[in-house]
Amino acid sequence: MRDELREVQLAIANEVAIANEARVAEGWPNGKQPETADRIHSVSQIRSIRSYASREIDFTVPGILAAGTIAAITGDSGTGKSTLTTAMVAAVSNGRPFAGRQTQKRPVLILDRENPLPIVLERFNRLGIDDGDNLKVWGGWAEDEPPNPYCPIIVDWVKQCDPKPVIVVDSFIAFHEGSENDSADMRKTMQGFRRLADLGSNPVLIHHSGKGENTKDYRGSSDFKAGIDVGYVVANLSADPSVLGTVRMKAFKARFTVDVEVILRYHDGCFEADESRPWKTNPEFLRELLIQNPGIRAEEFYKKATDKRLGRNKARVFLMNGIETGAIRVDKGQFNAHYHTWISTPNETVLDE
């Protein structure tokens, strides 16, 4: 009888051990489920929204990032979005200014499933920064791969942080579970990030932009855009796209007031506000692009405009308006080819969109 009882006890202990291992794998500290004492058990327990700490927009980086909100930094490969984001959050981790903006010091966690360690080290060396107590980088090279951003381990850490942290996800698609084009899958993922934002943290999602006119700001389901609070598409405006120089951040969504467009100049590991380059409208950028490429065919111009995130349709309208007003000259070539050149002076009034 004792032997049978002993076998039952061992079986139960084994099941508990297996369950604990599974919970640890899911991120439960020591295999214990998070405390539920502060959970809502009835509607009457719901507190007034004014009783919570965050009562107004609290900017981490003025005009760009805010605590308690979800931000997206999107762009093509090679536009510098990871370098830009890393430089910005590194400044936040030390409370140092970023491109002339005084940041608010907060803990920073970078979750990286996109880049190998040598690339991350090269970026940190180039930017002249180091990780430490207030800047943690969790990548695939660590003892355990970076977990789901809203797993219990990270949620518990966010709850303990004061002030609340900035959490960078590089890249979004590497952590997204399911199809990026499936609205239900996307909505589920974004709800996880909303939980982190509701706790006061600032998730920053580095994501790829699409190729089509309607998906140029971000790739995947429209529920991605619906789930974020502010989104910036990053473009490298340098003449040589392989060299990071002048960078533009242009907001494609904002639920609160942010800087619609931020122009930065990157040089020798630093980002500076490009005050010599005033804010430009889309037609001004298109005019500049045409001036740099005289005698260009329409399709080639559309492609360059798309590469600069200026929009194919807007480039087409720009050429049509320019031809109609006489600001753009059209020369005919062989096989009915048409070549476009800007002939007005740079100081003339810019064509409206």
Nearest residue to 191 (alpha-carbon basis) of 166, 146, 227: 227
Task: Give the confidence band of 306 by pLDDT, cuts at 50, 70, 90.
Answer: confident
* Dihedral pair phi/psi, residue 142, rounded to 5°: -70, 170
CATH class of 69-273: alpha beta
pLDDT at 191: 96
> What tokens does 184 get?
């239900």
pLDDT at 32: 47
pLDDT at 54: 58
Q: What is the mean pLDDT of residues 155-172?
A: 97
> What tokens does 286 get?
């298109």
pLDDT at 347: 41
Of 81-95, 269-283, 285-299, the range with the lowest mean pLDDT is 269-283
> What tokens does 112 get?
């990286």
Task: Give the confidence band of 29 by pLDDT, cuts at 50, 70, 90.
Answer: very low
Residues facing residue 264 across a β-bridge? 247, 273
CATH number for the domain whose boundaries are 282-342: 1.10.10.10
Find the length of the chain: 353
Domain chopping of the chain, boundaries: 69-273, 282-342
pLDDT tops 80 at residue 64: yes
Residue 75: Cβ-neighbour burial (10 angstroms; 0-12, 13-18, 19+): buried
CA dihedral 123→127→128→130, nearest 10 degrees, is -60
pLDDT at 28: 44
How far is Cα 262 from Cα 248, in angstroms, rounded to an integer? Answer: 6
Percent of the chain with pLDDT over 90: 61
Q: What is the mean pLDDT of residues 188-208?
A: 96
Percent of the chain with pLDDT over 70: 82
**Rounded to an integer, what is the distance from CA 144 to the centroid of its chain?**
24
pLDDT: which is higher, 289 or 187 = 187
Task: Give the confidence band of 216 by pLDDT, cuts at 50, 70, 90.
Answer: confident
